A and B are shown apart, each in its own frame.
Chain A
Amino acid sequence: MNALRIKAIAYKEWREILRDRLFFALAFVVPASLMLVFGYGLSLDVEHIPFAVVDHDRSAMSRDYLHRFMDSRYFNYKGHVSSERELDPLLADSAIRFAIIIPPKFQENLLASRPVAVQSLIDGTFPFRTATSKGYVIAINAAFNGELLAGYISQRLGISLEQAAAMVQPVGVQIRYLYNQELKSVWSMASALMMFVLMITPPFLTALGVVREKENGSIYNIYASTVTRGEFLFGKLAPYVGISVINIIILWLMATLLFGAPFRGDPLFFFIASVIYVTCTTGIGLLVSLIVRTQIAAMMLTVVTTIVPSVLYSGLLVPIASMNPQAQIEAHLFPAMYYTDIALGSFLKGIGLEQLWGRVLALTIYAVALWMLSYLLFHKRPRS
């Protein structure tokens, strides 16, 4: 390895990037804009669920019950309809995602101490939203039931309403939300978004690097020169890693200053881990670039190796822990997962090398393996 030759290759690549003004600008604009858009827009909070009501009773009690839904910020009241049949098209059109049907004699039965069945219809198209909405409905119903029962018992036994309420619900629940007390998605998102943006943009920067030279034929200059395989790959990769390192800093500043995400860990540790991570992701791009012969193929193969796994197997939207074993194995094949743990740990949990060394090691191995593979696949004497 000759440092001077690596420098020459890196400098040549850098000049090439710099001269392509639009590309150079995009190398910084794309990560920052993705961070901005997702930071503000990617909210998983299930709120304002539009719903409609069929009230066959129209009594004081049914109105009181329904108001618990209307007044909740989780639901967005869209109106009454007169029969169940009118709900079908509304649900099919996604105009509402949830409906409550109050049976006739709702109040009469309750006052006469008889159980009443209240039906709710929930749109199951998006299962996560369905599960969350169901939780809200059950909670509202449970609260209403508790009050009903407390009223009933206080009447029967002649005790105060508070005493009766305590009897009905003897076990209280105290929930402590760790790491993200206010349950703001954007907090935990900001760190996961760093992972996401740094998974997608560096490979796309790099992916066309080598294959473009192959398509243009300028690769023959390299083949004919004294530059060795290793020197070429190092020099080629260096400017892209450099750009990505600057992007790490920009994204980190956006996460902490713009989104106000707390950073509880060690900045130096996080920075080094991030540099290893972007070395991995730029390495993926380089590898793709070496395998294929055309730029279009490089683009599509990068989609396959980055966008898809970073959405599903990174823990951004879908937590790894709840996957089945097969998907967990698939998740372990991509670097994103390890970095998600590092980013979450550094931002929200305030843990460092002590607990996360395994993940850093995994990323390092990944980076080295990618580099070795690239080295083996790149030949200065191409066949055919």
Chain B
Amino acid sequence: MNRHATELLSRFYLWWSRLTAMTIKELLQLGRDRFLIFAIIFLFTIDILMTGNVRMELSHATVIVNDADHSEASRELIYRFRPPYFKLGGEILDGREGFWLLDQGQALMVLNIPPKFQHDLVQGKPTNVQILVDTSNPMLGPLAASYSSQIIGQYGFDAALQRMGVTEKSLENVPMLVDQHRVWYNPNQNDQWFIPLSELLTVITILAIMLPAAAAVREKERGTMEQLIVSPLTSLQILLPKVISMTLVILLGTAVSLFLVLEPVFHIPIKGSLPLFFAVTALYTVATSGLGLYIATMSRNLAQAAMLAILILMPMIFLSGAWTPPEAMPAGLRQAMYLSPLYYFIEMGYGILLKGAGLDILWDELLGLTLLGIVVFSFGVWRFRRQYR
């Protein structure tokens, strides 16, 4: 009994020491490639820092005015198109000039105010203001249209109340809905909380797929894989160290990026549990690296692996819910989204950091990621084993 236990222990010790030896080998190999280290550090720091300058909110969009009335009323309306959303880009006299400026991309919107605007307003006659919006950008165009109709609607409403002699005080005796919206989790809708974090998740995904895939294919291409195969190492002992070493690198990078960039520079609130976040990141990296191993078994050289990697990566990054609203996706793709590990990671990443959600809320996503990870990872290992044994 005792002998049996020691034998088991020594076998475990052997297994373990082989695993650590291989992991150290992978880390050393990674550390000796200066350009690779540079690329990884760049991705986790400067790259994420740069994304902080990017805005998706309508900000200082140029409005060109074609004012045919030149009255007090028209000036007051024009004056309402001001920063932060809009800025006035000048006045034109001819409608065609407006189209030209829109063609050039020098203006996002042209505001046409008809002649007799003030006259009609005072007389109580309905009048129409026309706006031309460049909607070639699917984000800004609709936002600009929505904001400007709000501005014009409010202006008309104010003008009507003024004409009817309704003052602030008597407004209390008018049936009205007062809109009180509150935005949760990111009250100021700060893009710097969203885009850099989404970039971090993207970087993790790219590295988690590409690094293990490249590490495995490189051995194949150089023929060193044959050496490993004839050694006493099992398939798992060959593949697992690649995944473990890359996961360690990614976790370190994530910590650097979180504590040196996201928190101090962008003031992202870390509301939830950090250990949970890192545990989820580790689980995600291992799960996704299964995809990398799968790529490695399919390709004979790194060029193939790189092409296969972007074929898998790009749809994953874009269709997992950070950029495109999952609710609005076509049904087929929404089903496919549940097969993307990144979908669960985005839900949990934002959930933990911004929403402060814990396991009680995120357990279903965690379960989904775990199951998916087990399937993907064992599939990758199985393919590898079948190829070499």
Contacts and interface: CB of A to CB of B under 8 A. Distances in A.
Interface string A276-292: 00000000000000011
Interface string B86-129: 00000000000001001111001000000000001100111111
Given A169-B157, A176-B130, A114 B179 contact: no
Nearest to B137: A319
B310 interface: yes
Contact of B310 (A49, A152, A176, A200): A200
Contact of B301 (A44, A97, A212): A212
A327 to B, nearest CB: 3
Interface stretch (A33-41, A52-60, A226-234): A33-41
Interface string B333-346: 10000000000000
Contacts of A20: 300-301, 303-304
Contact of B39 (A91, A166, A201, A297): A297
A304 B59 contact: no
A171 B152 contact: yes
B60 A322 contact: yes
Given A92-B355, A171-B128, A201 B310 contact: yes
B230 interface: no
In terms of DSSP, what is the predominant structure of the interface of chain B? helix
A160 to B, nearest CB: 14
B184 to A, nearest CB: 6
Contacts of B361: 89, 92-93
Interface in A144-192: 144-146, 148-149, 151-153, 166-181, 183, 185, 188-189
Which of B43, B105, B135, B136 counts the most A-chain CB atoms under 10 A from its CB?
B136
Contact of B186 (A130, A181, A355): A130
Given A119-B182, A304-B43, A322 B140 contact: yes
Given A33-B311, A300-B40, A124 B184 contact: yes
Nearest to A137: B181
A131 interface: yes
A300 B36 contact: yes
Contact of A173 (B59, B124, B148, B215): B148
A383 B206 CA distance: 33
Contact of B134 (A179, A205, A212, A302): A179
B39 A26 contact: no
A303 B136 CA distance: 27
Given A149-B175, A321-B61, A94 B347 contact: yes
Instruction: Kindly name the residue among B43, B181, B302, B309 whose own CB sees the greatest number of chain A CB atoms within 10 A.
Output: B181
- Point out which of A131, A188, A300, A301 has the most chain B C-beta atoms below 10 A from its C-beta: A300
Interface residues of A, number: 135
Contacts of A153: 164
A270 B156 CA distance: 45
A219 interface: no
Given A120-B181, A326-B53, A349-B136, A113 B327 contact: no
Interface of B: 33-36, 39-40, 42-43, 47, 50-51, 53-62, 77, 99, 102-105, 108, 120-121, 124-143, 145-150, 152-157, 159-160, 163-164, 171-187, 189-191, 193-195, 199, 202, 206-207, 210-211, 214-215, 218, 221-222, 298-304, 306-311, 313-315, 317-319, 322-325, 327-330, 333, 347, 350-351, 354-357, 361-362
Given A167-B124, A299-B306, 16 more contacts: A23-B304, A26-B311, A37-B319, A92-B356, A121-B182, A122-B182, A123-B183, A124-B189, A126-B322, A138-B179, A170-B127, A170-B159, A171-B127, A171-B159, A174-B131, A175-B130
Q: Rank and list the top 10 A-B pairs by shortest CB-CB distance, nearest first.
A: A327-B53, A171-B156, A124-B186, A297-B35, A135-B146, A300-B39, A26-B307, A124-B183, A185-B138, A127-B189
5 contacts: A22-B300, A45-B138, A125-B194, A142-B154, A315-B137
